Amino acid sequence: MSISVDVRDVSKRFRLVHDKYNSLKERVIHAGRVPHEDFWALQNISLQVNEGETVGLLGHNGSGKSTLLKCIAGILQPTTGEIAVRGRVASMLELGAGFSDELSGRANIFLNASLMGMSKKEIESKIDDIIDFAEIGPFIDNQVRFYSSGMYTRLGFAVAVNMDPHILLVDEVLAVGDENFQRKCIDKIRSFQKEGRTIVFVSHSPDLVRSICDRAYVLDHGKIVGQGNVQDAISILRDFQMAGSSLVNDPSDPANAKKPKPSDHHNSGEKRVLISSLEIQGESTGGSAPLQSGDSAILRVGYEVLNYVPTDVIFGLEILDAKGETVYRGDTATLEMPPLTLVGKGNILVRLGSLPLGEGVYSVSVSLVDLHGGTLLDWRSLDNSVKVLCQQKSSGVLALNFTTFVEQTI
Ligand SMILES: Nc1ncnc2c1ncn2[C@@H]1O[C@H](COP(=O)(O)OP(=O)(O)OP(=O)(O)O)[C@@H](O)[C@H]1O
């Protein structure tokens, strides 16, 4: 199998420019130099994507996913290291990247497609398909600056997928379109996969990555901190999210001393405390019935201390919506609550109080972190299995009981 994308030891430095020197004295001393600071958005990244594979890039905000994708697309040059790509690359990067606001949608199609290496004749033969796919209708001859974010995205995706690319780079576009368009994009991605094309896919949604990708890399602060099959990569990402920590944190920094070291969970194999079960129950519904929005719920976390030495732990809780977005994250240390002392076997009961969640399906994850060593001892999650029903007809993750009144001022 040949390699389609080969990233070798790539680092990318950005120069963060500070306010210019104000006084004449400062300008004379610094002789016209612009004050700046170096920021390494990518550090020694190496990865390979084989022909026909779909590989996900996961990571928290600012971890470097888009920068890496832009380097692969050739939009950014790595500061050090090398990238080799085999075949025509089409990229659907950030919203409207590559579009010129003053031009119409149609003119932008020609501009974009020609930048991707297509001849005028090729573009003319595809333009109807692109316009159909984008569902822009009569707006195709309007300037794109009047487009909504959904229209921008649809047009960008339509251009990228109709370029007949060998390699498709997709950055989070599916988050913007409506549900119909998302389904259409996913169908297109699946047909690309069947045709043996290579895809690199950035998303915050573990569910999407799980359903689309063959494997994934996890980035944290510009470094690859994990890779493997999608489930493993999502677990590593969760560890990092739960830990709120980073491998690049300085362990000698007292601020980081209590933070868990996520990699221990996977690498040490030395589990001193196990989370043996995890259940959630509504106080009024009980059992395994769906929760009612606004109801109090209780989490029952079964634990087992394996070495029978009492262990002081920080308890962490995270709730994610169906797209994998965090709805809530907190832990006893951050909330300045006392640590839990666990001995033998038992249950940790967590009263969640009223849950003002909108109707939907949620994931709940819990973690235990050793208070003294900062090691992540164990975590467990109920993935997409916590169903919440809501009487209100509103939408969104928050069920809000708002009231209105009119204050007349004249
Ligand atoms: N042109 C730039 N100049 C300076 N810093 C930049 C530039 N582009 C990105 N960065 C910084 O590099 C880091 C990585 O950004 P990047 O957009 O690659 O992250 P990301 O993982 O894609 O984040 P998100 O999930 O929020 O899109 C961030 O700290 C960002 O602020």
Which has the higher per-residue pLDDT, 118 or 41? 41
Question: Which DSSP state fits 101?
Answer: T
Q: Are 297 and 289 in contact (CB under 8 A)?
A: no
User: Positive or negative CA dihedral for 328, 331, 336, 337?
Assistant: positive
Q: Which residues contact 258 (CB under 8 A, 6 or more apart)?
A: 314, 333, 369, 371, 374
Q: Is the CB of 62 under 6 A from ligand 1?
A: yes
Domain 3-231 is found in CATH 3.40.50.300:
yes
Q: Are 338 and 359 in contact (CB under 8 A)?
A: no
In the chain, % of residues over pLDDT 70: 83
The domain ranges of the chain are: 3-231, 272-389
pLDDT in tens, 237-263: 877 766 654 333 333 333 333 333 333
Q: Of the ranges 267-281, 304-318, 354-368, which is most confident?
A: 354-368
**3-231 matches 272-389 in fold:** no
Q: What is the ipTM of this complex?
A: 0.96
Tell me how far apart the alpha carbons of residues 304 and 302 are, in angstroms, rounded to a whole number: 7
User: How many Å lie between the centroid of ligand 1 and the Cα of residue 381?
Assistant: 29
User: How many Å lie between the centroid of ligand 1 and the Cα of residue 7?
Assistant: 18
Tell me how far apart the alpha carbons of residues 147 and 140 are, in angstroms, rounded to a whole number: 10
Q: Is the CB of 70 under 6 A from ligand 1?
A: no
3-state secondary structure of 235: helix
Q: Using the atom order of ligand 1, give the atom closest to the CA of residue 172.
A: 27
pLDDT in tens, 195-233: 999 999 998 777 778 888 999 999 999 999 999 888 888
Helix (H) or strand (E) holding 264: helix 262-267
Is the pLDDT at 270 greater than 60? The verdict is: no
Q: Using the atom order of ligand 1, give the atom closest to the CA of residue 67.
A: 18
C-alpha distance from residue 197 to each of 4, 50, 71, 297, 354 (Å): 9, 10, 19, 46, 48
Superfamily of domain 272-389 in CATH is: abc- transporter (atp binding component) like domain (2.70.50.60)
